[in-house]
Homo-oligomer: A and B are copies of this chain.
């Protein structure tokens, strides 16, 4: 099962009054930015809503930009953790594919803020290259998983980049449908979606 709502808790051992402030700032900033947009979220509002004085915010973060990057990194890490949860190596490849697909879908579904934030800022110039690279780290295990599938001829011989991006795109499409509420995304729809993904990448004998 996937972690429930992100709570922006930092490492337990790092906990302190200071951490609590940082947490508050990031948590509030995430909400406000997703709901209103970056430019529509003044630092003064983050300060007021989080109850942390302006100066204190700047004590913890060099700039508004740094807050955005901090949120990005944090959410990517959470996503990375959620993605691989409950990896049961006894499952066969297809079952694991379903597992991972569903993990990410559920993570996004249960963390609307995280999904919208990450979607909006993947390509943004506000996110530094350094942060982007740091974010990519969390995809490594899943890439290995696909490479294994390719090696064993379970998956069609598709370029790994294309493969990864397409599957991720499929998940994102479903999450977007979910949040747009065009249709209700129930178990049946989710299964259809995962099935589409699997059909698109699996060799015939493994379908």
List chain A positions with a Cβ less than 8 A from chain B. Answer: 37-39, 116, 119-120, 123-125, 156, 158-159, 161-162, 165-166, 168-170, 172-174, 176-177, 182-183, 189, 192-193, 195-197, 199-201
Contact = CB atoms under 8 A, between A and B. Distances in A.
Contacts of A200: 170, 196-197, 199-200
B161 A177 contact: yes
B161 A183 contact: yes
A173 B124 CA distance: 16
Copies of this chain present in the complex amount to: 4
Contacts of A169: 169-170, 172-173
B162 A177 contact: yes
A196 B201 contact: yes
A122 to B, nearest CB: 9
15 contacts: A37-B124, A39-B39, A120-B123, A123-B176, A156-B192, A159-B189, A161-B177, A162-B174, A165-B177, A166-B170, A168-B173, A169-B169, A199-B199, A199-B201, A200-B200
